[in-house]
């Protein structure tokens, strides 16, 4: 079986194809034949060496595949079941803790850019009905994050106003989930063609965040008093405007640090005089993933896949992600 491994110190030229024997599942474990993964910004940071990992780490936190064999004492799955990975393989339910969230797929543990691997039978969920492996592989990181921000923490309801920022994988899932909940959608992008696509998908107003540096104020005006939910993807580069965009008692999910937004300044009175709730979000638990799958099985939502690459094309896929041309998710199928 083939795997891709990262040679230290990382970098797209240090993603190496390796061959090894297929492993056998032990007690409580399953052997999975992985067929697809999808790209997240986190995977990009790991592959580039910007999040350092052990030598020979298998990258990619998302995986979807089929169970090939069961170890002893596995009763919840059958051979042939289609499953997808968890970003945090140890976070089953309840509040996060360091113990539950230190093991991270594709970072502190091996990920899923491998033809096969053995994992705990607890560390997967079923994929939504009718989904291909590529479609399922888009969900565990990006969709679960948007789901948690809007549904679990934000408690979204019909008629709420939602701001999604940019057109990456997580944000487009945010748009789709908001639409399924009957919410009104506001969006930002740096690209006029993408703005048209956002409108086609149901955004009622789209602002170009490069042309309008005070886009938060503009969204506040267009939404007549500010939005109820923001999925913030830029941290230091977007949070001040996300706060401007938010209305009284709104909820901001702090999700990302795009455009160099690791640090930044905000004006605190704007946060507290609007009684804004700010939640730091790092993906979610297995229980949240199961609930998200249950919702998708009812609402029929399908991911928007921009482009698909082959197993050995990870570097090309990341280069494409780097270009920022994509709208929605980028996948690898094998
Ligand atoms: N905390 C978590 O659990 C979690 C989970 C998933 C993702 N994330 C984070 O969320 C962010 C997005 O992730 P992703 O995987 O969806 O990335 P992605 O697919 O690579 O998204 C890239 C897109 O983001 C947009 N963008 C870049 N800078 C922006 C800015 N200053 N304002 C608004 N949009 C901007 C651009 O959209 P346009 O081309 O339309 O301008 C770009 O195409 C990343 O920071 C990632 O680390 C966090």
Instruction: Give the residue from 34, 55, 92, 6 showing the smallest Cα distance to 315.
Output: 6
User: How many Å from the N-terminal Cα to the C-terminal Cα in the chain?
Assistant: 12
Distance 212 CA to ligand 1 centre (A): 18
Residue 250 has a pLDDT of: 98
> Which of 38, 147, 168 has the most ligand 1 atoms within 8 A of CB, as the residue to mutate?
168
Evaluate whether the domain defined by 2-138+303-333 bears CATH number 3.90.180.10: yes
Ligand 1: atom nearest CA of 283 is: 3
Segment 271-281, tens digit of pLDDT: 999 999 999 99
Residue 275 has a pLDDT of: 98
Tokens of 164: 């999604």
Mean residue pLDDT of the chain comes to 98
Mean pLDDT in residue range 125-134: 98
Residue 230 has a pLDDT of: 99
Instruction: Give me the sheet containing 161-165, strands edge to edge.
Output: 203-208, 184-189, 161-165, 227-232, 246-254, 277-280
Distance 282 CA to ligand 1 centre (A): 14
pLDDT band at 18 (very low <50, low <70, confident <90, very high): very high
Segment 165-194, tens digit of pLDDT: 999 999 999 999 999 999 999 999 999 999
Within 6 A (CB) of ligand 1 lie 40-42, 141-142, 145, 165-171, 188-191, 194, 209, 233-234, 237-238, 255-259, 281-283, 321, 324
Distance 257 CA to ligand 1 centre (A): 8
Residue 201 has a pLDDT of: 98
Q: Where are the domains of the chain?
A: 2-138+303-333, 142-280
State how far the alpha carbon of 85 is from the alpha carbons of 11, 137, 162, 330, in Å. Answer: 24, 8, 28, 17
The rounded percent of the chain whose pLDDT value lies above 70 is: 100
Residue 110 has a pLDDT of: 98
Distance 320 CA to ligand 1 centre (A): 14
Mean pLDDT in residue range 108-121: 98
Number of H helices, E strands in the chain: 11, 15
> Which of 106, 232, 233 has the most ligand 1 atoms within 8 A of CB, as the residue to mutate?
233
Its pTM stands at 0.98
Distance 273 CA to ligand 1 centre (A): 28
Helices (H), 76-143: 98-101, 133-136
* Residues listed for the chain: 334
Segment 67-109, tens digit of pLDDT: 999 999 999 999 999 999 999 999 999 999 999 999 999 999 9
pLDDT band at 308 (very low <50, low <70, confident <90, very high): very high
Mean pLDDT in residue range 46-54: 96
Residue 139 has a pLDDT of: 99
Mean pLDDT in residue range 308-333: 97
Evaluate whether the domain defined by 142-280 bears CATH number 3.40.50.300: no
Distance 168 CA to ligand 1 centre (A): 5
> Which of 42, 193, 199, 256 has the most ligand 1 atoms within 8 A of CB, as the residue to mutate?
256
pLDDT band at 214 (very low <50, low <70, confident <90, very high): very high
Prior bond of 9 cis (ω within 30°): yes
């Amino acid at each position: 079986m083939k795997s891709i491994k990262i040679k230290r110190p990382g970098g797209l030229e240090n993603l190496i194809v390796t061959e090894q024997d297929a492993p056998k599942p032990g007690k409580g474990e399953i052997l999975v034949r992985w067929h697809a993964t999808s790209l997240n910004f986190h995977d990009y940071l790991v592959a580039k060496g910007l999040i350092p990992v052990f030598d020979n780490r298998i990258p990619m936190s998302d995986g979807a595949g089929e169970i090939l064999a069961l170890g002893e004492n596995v009763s919840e799955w059958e051979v042939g079941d289609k499953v997808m990975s968890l970003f945090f393989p140890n976070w089953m339910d309840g509040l996060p803790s360091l113990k539950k969230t230190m093991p991270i797929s594709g970072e502190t543990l091996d990920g899923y850019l491998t033809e096969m691997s053995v994992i705990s039978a607890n560390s997967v969920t079923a994929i939504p009905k009718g989904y291909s492996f590529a479609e399922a592989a888009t969900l565990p990181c990006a969709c679960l994050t948007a789901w948690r921000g809007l549904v679990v923490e934000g408690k979204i309801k019909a008629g709420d106003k939602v701001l999604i920022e940019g057109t990456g994988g997580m944000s487009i899932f945010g748009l789709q989930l908001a639409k399924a909940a009957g919410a009104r959608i506001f969006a930002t992008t740096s690209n006029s063609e993408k703005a048209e696509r956002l409108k086609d998908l149901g955004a009622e107003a789209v602002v170009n965040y490069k042309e309008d540096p005070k886009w938060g104020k503009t969204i506040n005006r267009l939404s007549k008093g500010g939005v109820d939910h923001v999925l913030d993807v830029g941290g230091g580069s977007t949070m001040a405007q996300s706060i401007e965009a938010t209305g009284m008692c709104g909820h901001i999910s702090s999700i990302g640090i795009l455009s160099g937004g690791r640090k930044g300044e905000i004006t605190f009175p704007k946060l507290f005089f609007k009684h804004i709730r700010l939640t730091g979000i790092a993906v979610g638990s297995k229980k949240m993933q199961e609930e998200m799958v249950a919702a998708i099985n009812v609402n029929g939502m399908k991911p928007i896949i921009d482009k698909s690459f082959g197993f050995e094309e990870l570097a090309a896929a990341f280069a494409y992600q780097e270009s920022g041309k994509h709208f929605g998710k980028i996948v690898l199928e094998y």
